[in-house]
Amino acid sequence: MKRRIVMIYVGLLSGIVLCSGGCGTEANAGKDRIVAKVLADASAAPISEEAQDPGEGSLQQEEEEETDYVNGEEYVFPVGEVTLRTDMDADEAVEELGEYKSVFKAPSCAGEGTSYIYTYDSFEIETYPTEEGKNLIGYIILRDDTVATAEGIDLSMTRSDVIQTYGSGYEEAQNSITYEKNGTKLNFIFDGEELSSIEYVSAVIG
Amino acid sequence: MCREIFGKSGSEETHMKKRRNSLILRALLTAVVVAAVLAGLQRVLMPKYTGADREGSMIGEYYSQEKDHDVIFIGDCEVYTNFSPAVLWEEYGINSYIRGSAEQLIWQSYYLAEETFTYEKPKVLVFNVLSMMFDEPQRESYNRMTLDGMRWSVSKIKCIEASMTEEENFIEYVFPILRFHDRWSELTKEDFTKAWKKDPVTFNGYYMRVDILPAENIPEERKLGDYRFGENAYSYLDKLTELCREEGVELVLIKAPSLYPPWYDEWDQQIVEYAEIHGLKYYNLLDAAEEIGLDYSTDTYDAGLHLNLSGAEKLSRYFGAILAEDCGLQDRRQERELALKWEEKLKAYREEIRRQKTLTDDGADR
C-alpha cells in the first residue's frame, strides 16, 4: 500500500514537471501575446489581437521589394527613402531615419520594458516592447502637412478628400474615421471638416 | 467456498469495514498531502514581485496593517508614487494608506474600495481619476499585479470577472499554478526564500524613489477621435460614488500632477461636471503644480511620469492641508498608541531614504 501511495505522489509530481515542460511552449506563446500588448503608452487602449512577426516588415526586406504604396497590402508611411509601418522593428527604423529631435521614455509599471516616443520634424513614432526585448512601432503620428500618407493625404486636407481617396469602408467615432487593411490601421481625426491628425496605429496595441 | 456460498463471518465483515475505512483515510491523507505539495509549488512558482515589478506586491501589504485609517487613497501609479502618508502623519496627524497598484482600472478601484470598507470605514476615500480613460479590460500583466494580491472575498471574485481580458481564465486566478507553471525554468533563489514571507516594498502603500530624472521632451498630446469617457467607466464611478454615500465615507476626486500620460482639458471638464452634479470635491493637482511648488527638473524620477520623494513630500504637504481644512480631518498625533506605531514607521521610512540616497550617490540603481 505504501508503495502505491509513493507511486501516486511520484506520478503526480512527474505529471506536473512534464506538464511544466510540455505546456511551456504554448503557455509562453500566450505570454508573448500578452507582453507584446504591454504599454505602447500608458494612455493606449489596446485591442487583443495576436502580435505580428516582428521580422515581417524589416527595412532590408522593404528595400528589396518593388514599392506599391497605394495598392499595397498594408497601410504604410513613406518618409524619404524609408517606409514605415506599424509593428515593424522600431530600432531598425530609427537607425534608418537618422537623427530625431527628441526621445521620451515611458517605462512599464509592470516591469516589462519601456516604450519610446521618437519625435522628428514632421512626425512621431511610438514604440512598444516585446518579451524578446524588441521594440516595435505602435503608432506613427503625422504632425504637419509637409508629410503625407502613401496615398497622398496630408494635414492640409479635409474629410471629403480622405473619403474620396480611401473610400467609404471606414469605422467612425465621434471626430474620427479609421480604415483597416490587413491588421494595419489608419486613423484620421478631424476638427470639424478639417483634418487635425493622421495616425498609423498598430492593431496589436490599439 | 462455503463462505462464499453462505456469506461472510462477522469478524471478516469487521475486517472489511476496517480495511475500507483505512483506504478512505489513506485516500484523504493522500489528497491532503498532494494539495499541500501543489500549494507549496504554487507559492514557489508565482512571481514574487520584489524586483522591477515590485508594484505587484502592493495590494497584499494592506492586510497586515492596523485598520484605523482616516484616509484611503485608491488608484493607479499616480497615487502610490505621488503621495507620502508619512508626511501626512508628521505634518497633519492624518493616518492614511494607499491602496494603489499599477494601471489600476476603475472597476478594480471600486472593488478594492468595497473590500476595504469590510475592514474599516475611513473618513475620506481619495480616487485618482486618470483610470476613467479606460473603458474595458486591458492587460493580464497589470491585472495580476492588482488581483493576485487581493485576499479571497466576493469583491475579489467580482473584480476578477470585471478585469479579465478575453485570453484570461477565472480558474487561473483560483489556481495560479495553472498560469505560472512554466516559470519553473526561470526560478531563482528568491522564488524559494520569498515564497512565504517577503519584506514590504512600500510605506503605507507609498512607493519611494529618491532618484531624479528631469522632465524633458514631454511628447505633444495625441489627438483623440473621441474624448468622452466610456459608459463602463462612468458606471463604476457611479457605483463608487454610491458605495461611499452608503458607507458614510467622503469620496474625493483628484488628478495627480503627473505630466504624462496627458490629461486632456476635455477629460477634466467631464470630471468637473460629474463632481458638480454629485456634490463631490475634485482637485486637479496638475493645474496646481506651481502652487504646490513642484519643480519637474528635480521632483520626478522618470521625466514627469511619477514624482520622486521630493515631489511626493511637497504634494503631500499641499494635499494634507486640503484634507485637514476642506475635509475636516483631525490631528491624531496625540493618540499615544497610534503615535508609537508611526514612530516605528517613520524610522523605517528615514532609513530607506538614507539607503536609497547612498545608492544614488554611488550611482547605483535604487
Residue A13 falls within a domain, yes or no? no
Cβ B203 vs Cβ B84: under 8 Å: yes
Q: What is the C-alpha radius of gyration for chain A, rounded to an integer number of angstroms?
A: 22
Percent of chain B with pLDDT over 90: 75
| Grid cell of A23 as nine digits | 505546456
Q: If pLDDT is split at 50, 70 and 90, which confidence band does A62 have?
A: very low
User: ∠B211-B51-B209 over CA atoms, to 5°?
Assistant: 20
For residue B185, which residues of chain A lie inside 8 Å, CB to CB? 20, 24
Q: What is the pLDDT of residues B112-162, one digit of tens each?
A: 999 999 999 999 999 999 999 999 998 898 999 999 999 999 999 999 999
Nearest to A104 among B141, B181, B218 (CB): B218
Integer Cα distance of B86 and B89 in angstroms:
5
Which residues form the domain of A170? 59-202
Residue A155 falls within a domain, yes or no? yes
Name the pairing type of β-strands B250-255 and B124-128. Answer: parallel
Distance of residue A16 Cα from the nearest chain B Cα, in angstroms: 8
- Tell me: pLDDT of A55 over 50: no
Query: Would you tell me which residues 117-136 of chain A have a C-beta closer than 8 angstroms to some C-beta of chain B?
Result: 117, 119, 124, 126
Q: What is the pLDDT of residues B6-35, one digit of tens each?
A: 555 677 888 888 889 999 999 999 999 999
Residue B253: its H or E element: strand B250-255
Integer Cα distance of A203 and A186 in angstroms:
10
Asked if A168 has any chain B CB less than 8 Å from its own CB, the reply is no
* Residue whose cell numbers read 469605422: A171
Q: If pLDDT is split at 50, 70 and 90, which confidence band does A182 have?
A: confident
Residue B74 or A73, more confident: B74
| Grid cell of B99 as nine digits | 491602496
| Residue in B44, B55, B57, B141 to test binding to A, most A beta-carbons within 10 Å | B141
Q: Please provide the average confidence, as pLDDT, over all residues in chain A.
A: 74
Asked if B218 has any chain A CB less than 8 Å from its own CB, the reply is yes
Minimal CA–CA distance to B103: which of B52, B152, B132, B142? B142
For residue B166, which residues of chain A lie inside 8 Å, CB to CB? 48
Cβ A97 vs Cβ A50: under 8 Å: no
Cβ B170 vs Cβ A53: under 8 Å: no
Residue A110 falls within a domain, yes or no? yes
The structural domains of chain B, ordered by start, are: 63-137+203-361 (3.40.50.1110)
Residue A54 falls within a domain, yes or no? no
Distance of residue B280 Cα from the nearest chain A Cα, in angstroms: 25
Q: What is the C-alpha radius of gyration for chain B, rounded to an integer number of angstroms?
A: 25
| Grid cell of A157 as nine digits | 486636407
B49 CB neighbour count, 10 Å cutoff:
24
Q: Given an 8 Å threshold on Cβ–Cβ distance, is B260 in contact with A42?
A: yes
CATH for A98: 2.60.460
For residue A117, which residues of chain B lie inside 8 Å, CB to CB? 219
Residue A73 falls within a domain, yes or no? yes
Q: What is the pLDDT of residue B48?
A: 81
Residue A153 falls within a domain, yes or no? yes
Distance of residue A60 Cα from the nearest chain B Cα, in angstroms: 29
Cβ B115 vs Cβ B156: under 8 Å: yes
- Tell me: pLDDT of B361 over 60: yes
Cβ B49 vs Cβ B55: under 8 Å: yes
Q: What is the pLDDT of residues A149-180, one digit of tens each?
A: 999 999 999 999 999 999 999 999 999 999 99
Minimal CA–CA distance to B323: which of B75, B65, B89, B62? B89
Nearest to A34 among B140, B220, B262 (CB): B140
Q: What is the pLDDT of residue A36?
A: 33
Helix, strand counts (H, E) of chain A: 4, 10
Asked if B53 has any chain A CB less than 8 Å from its own CB, the reply is yes
Cis, bond preceding A107 (omega within 30 deg of 0): no
Cβ B216 vs Cβ B86: under 8 Å: no
**How many distinct structural domains can be found in chain A?**
1
Residue A91 falls within a domain, yes or no? yes
Residue A138 falls within a domain, yes or no? yes
Cβ B82 vs Cβ B307: under 8 Å: yes
Integer Cα distance of B44 and B34 in angstroms:
15
Q: Please provide the average confidence, as pLDDT, over all residues in chain B.
A: 92
Distance of residue A66 Cα from the nearest chain B Cα, in angstroms: 33
Q: What is the pLDDT of residue A162?
A: 97
Nearest to B303 among A41, A105, A119 (CB): A105
Which of A20-34, A61-75, A90-104, B123-137 shows the lowest per-residue confidence on average (mean pLDDT)? A20-34
| Grid cell of A49 as nine digits | 489581437
Q: Which ipTM score applies to this complex?
A: 0.79
User: What are the strands, taking DSSP E only, across chain A?
Assistant: 77-79, 82-84, 102-107, 114-119, 123-129, 135-142, 171-172, 176-181, 184-191, 194-202
Asked if A35 has any chain B CB less than 8 Å from its own CB, the reply is yes
- Tell me: pLDDT of A57 over 50: no
Residues 6+ apart with CB under 8 A from B137: B105, B143, B162, B163, B164, B165
Q: Given an 8 Å threshold on Cβ–Cβ distance, is A189 in contact with B224?
A: yes
